[in-house]
Amino acid sequence: MVSNGSELIGLTAHEGQDLLSSGDVSSVELTEAILARVDEVEPRLNSYITVTRELALSAARDADAARAAGEAGGPLSGVPVMVKDNMSTQGVPTTAGSRILLGYTPPYDAHVVEQLRSGGAVIIGKGNLDEFAMGSSTEHSAFDATRNPWDTDRVPGGSSGGPAAGVAASECFISLGSDTGGSIRQPAALCGIVGMKPTYGLVSRYGLIAFGSSLDQIGPFTRDVRDAADALSVISGHDRRDSTSIDMPGQDFPSALSGDISGMRLGVPREYLVDGMEVGVKAAFEKSLETLEGLGATLEEVSLPLTNQALAVYYIIAPSEASANLARYDGFKYGNAVNDVPTAWDVMNQTREQGFGPEVKRRILIGAYTLSAGYYDAYYKKAQQVRTLIIREFAETFEKFDALVTPTSPTVAFKSGEKMDDPVAMYLSDVCTIPVNIAGLPAISVPGGMSEDLPVGLQFIGPQMGDGTVLRVAHAYEQATEWHKFKPAL
């Protein structure tokens, strides 16, 4: 029997679920242990924007009562989880990391939150993020920066830095993030955990505060691949409220974890070994390729030449969609507003001026420019045409390969403030992850080594609806290595 709180918080979700099922621990005990950990480390990390202590304990008691009554629970029943604060939570403030949504409390739950609640999960609170999910370091939050548990002088990545740091620091067992250009996989790499971006449309975006609607996708952060498969099974499935939701029944993703990848064909795209990649990251990646070959996979170098255009395509399409999506924040409908001004135009202008941070303003301006008369064809239309070519290039590549393997990030976690004054350098942090979003593909980052005592991420990319395949390859690699067992000393 496990009775020590420090032992409990170090478990994976499925290990915690085993203890719950055997009666060796209760959901209330798990939740109290996590809340104690939050109290201990939050002053140093700032992973959470909101902690819902009483609601969490109430949900834990409900999960225990359901279990005692013999009611079957899902794989996350009674398990404490965190939700990124751009997902609507009924009765709980949702800010998207922005001053413009101060005071906003949604009257409904996002689809993924509904799925968590119906499955008996215990929501501990809302995770910190770059404002409106625009950033790669979680330094662009109106609620102060999140810090990396491996080194609190460094960033956790972004935009889902709070949920990533929360899992890495044992402030929750599982968290949900959103990924528009790498915002799950990049922070997972920098924090030394698992982060999965599913196929576009596999997980409903209903209740997700929109950034780039054709790119956004919700996915899990976990401590191992088994937990990622369990979480994806809970949150995926068709939702008629999201017009882009794939109309198919839910899947049993844990069944894909066979541990065997012998005979699988893995492509290694040469364009992902980008200029400026740190020596330690490249060395860890090359070692990982040897491990995969040792597991019986066939590896072959492949060229994806349009990868070099993906970053430019993304930074036209994403800001364009952001500019349209953020036009709804005008000071009249919901959220914060500046009212002590003479006209309605002044209300709108001053609310946006004071409510949006500098990175959000930068992207709105870029998007408004690319959508404006005289520039639409030259920028937005051209970017969409190149996007079609990138999708086609991936599809042709997957006719030959089961999955692709790449580094997740060209660097380990960088120092706080290091790239804040250089937006282009910050944007390059996502150079290995952005093509996946453009093509709507599934991808997962798993711990793939260490460099200078900081974690390195390894990314597996699959074809559309190949989520089970990337989980299978990631799980086999994880079982053959020890990197996922490394923990920060915090």
Catalytically active residues, by annotation = 84, 159, 183
Q: Which helix (H) or strand (E) holds 115?
A: helix 111-118
Decide: helix, strand or coil at residue 166.
helix
Q: Which two tokens stand for residue 269?
A: 């795209």
The span from the CA of 91 to the CA of 403, in Å, is 42
- Single out the residue of 126, 157, 156 nearest to residue 143, CA to CA: 126
* Residue 416: cis peptide before it, omega within 30 degrees of 0: no
The span from the CA of 380 to the CA of 317, in Å, is 6
Q: Which helix (H) or strand (E) holds 467?
A: helix 467-479
Q: How many CB atoms lie within 10 A of CB 163?
A: 39
221 bridge partner residues: 175, 195
Distance of CA 351 to the CA centre of its chain: 29
CB 381, CB 118: distance < 8 Å: no
Quick one: CA dihedral 17, 83, 468, 203, positive or negative? positive
Using CA atoms, how far residue 155 sits from 47, 144, 194, 279, 455, in Å, is 11, 12, 17, 20, 12
* Radius of gyration, CA atoms only, the chain: 21
Decide: helix, strand or coil at residue 382.
helix
Q: Which two tokens stand for residue 26?
A: 């209760």
Q: Report how far apart the first and last C-alpha atoms of the chain are (Å, whole number).
A: 25
The span from the CA of 379 to the CA of 399, in Å, is 31
Residue type, 101: L
Q: Which helix (H) or strand (E) holds 44?
A: helix 27-45
- Single out the residue of 26, 29, 27, 47 nearest to residue 38, CA to CA: 47
| Residue 210 DSSP one-character state | P
